[in-house]
Each structure stands twice: as structure tokens, then as C-alpha cells.
Amino acid sequence: MARAHTAYLTRSTVPARKALQAAIDALKFKLTLDDGYAPFETSGYLPCTLDGEDAGFDLRFADVEADAPPNLAAALEGRDAAMKIRWSGDLREQLAALVVSLALAETFGAILHDADTDKILTAKSLQTQARNLAEEM
């Protein structure tokens, strides 16, 4: 299973911490972002709290590359900012990454792409993965 994907948004829709936390809260997962999250400034491990315990994932911001794969390029529709999300094999990290990605897709219109498979990830598939993973934990 892939341990990374990228969320593509327009720069103007990349959420501040408060807006992203509100989107996460609306999903009914007990995930809290660290106060250190800042659009285009966060680079590296982003601590989170998941159901009262430590969790987190690697987050890096980048500009959209001009040579995007054809499948992705057709879907981007002017999105010019990339949020590269990566996690380890830890289930808590994976769930934290999935919940943030789901919030980005559902609330801020992010397109999520798995570069390993060159597939666009749907919000529905992310939600299913996140719910199943939460039940396993």
C-alpha cells in the first residue's frame, strides 16, 4: 500500500490551521492538528493528536510541477499548489494523513493523487479507508 500521496489545490484555497481543523472536526474524527501548522511554511513532520494520543505525518508544500503525468494534468484545472503527504507504517500516522487529506478534498476541493499508481484518489475512497482504519485501531 502506498504511504504517500499529494493534495493539489489553488494557492488561494490552501487552508489556514483554523479552517483545516474545522473541516477535520466536521468529519467526526478526533484529530487535532499541532498549532505549528502553517500553509507554505510547514515542512517536515507535522505532529497531531489522534484520540488523545500522539500521531502525525510528513507534510511539505511545493509548486505544481509542469511535467505532471497526463492523468493528473487533466484533473488539475489550474491548481498550482501541492501538499505532499507521507506517513510511516504506523496506523495512527496513516489515519492522521488520511483524515487531513479527506478534509482537504471535501472542504477545499483538493485533487489527491497517488504517484506510485498514477491514480486520482476520490474523497469517497479516502473516507472508506479512514473509517476502516479507525475501526481496526
Angle at 74 between CA 73 and CA 78, to 5 degrees: 70
Non-local CB neighbours of 89 within 8 Å, separated by 6+ positions: 3
What is the distance between the alpha carbons of residues 98 and 4, in angstroms, rounded to a whole number? Answer: 10
Is the confidence at residue 107, as pLDDT, over 60? yes
* pLDDT (0 to 100) of residue 66: 73
**H or E segment at 133?**
helix 123-136
pLDDT tens digits along 5-48: 999 999 999 999 999 999 999 999 999 999 999 999 999 999 99
Confidence grade of residue 2 (pLDDT, cut at 50, 70, 90): low
Tell me whether residue 92 is exposed, middle or buried, using C-beta atoms within 10 angstroms of its C-beta: 0 to 12, 13 to 18, 19 or more: buried
The structure's pTM equals 0.94
C-alpha cell at 119: 491514480
Domain range list for the chain: 4-132
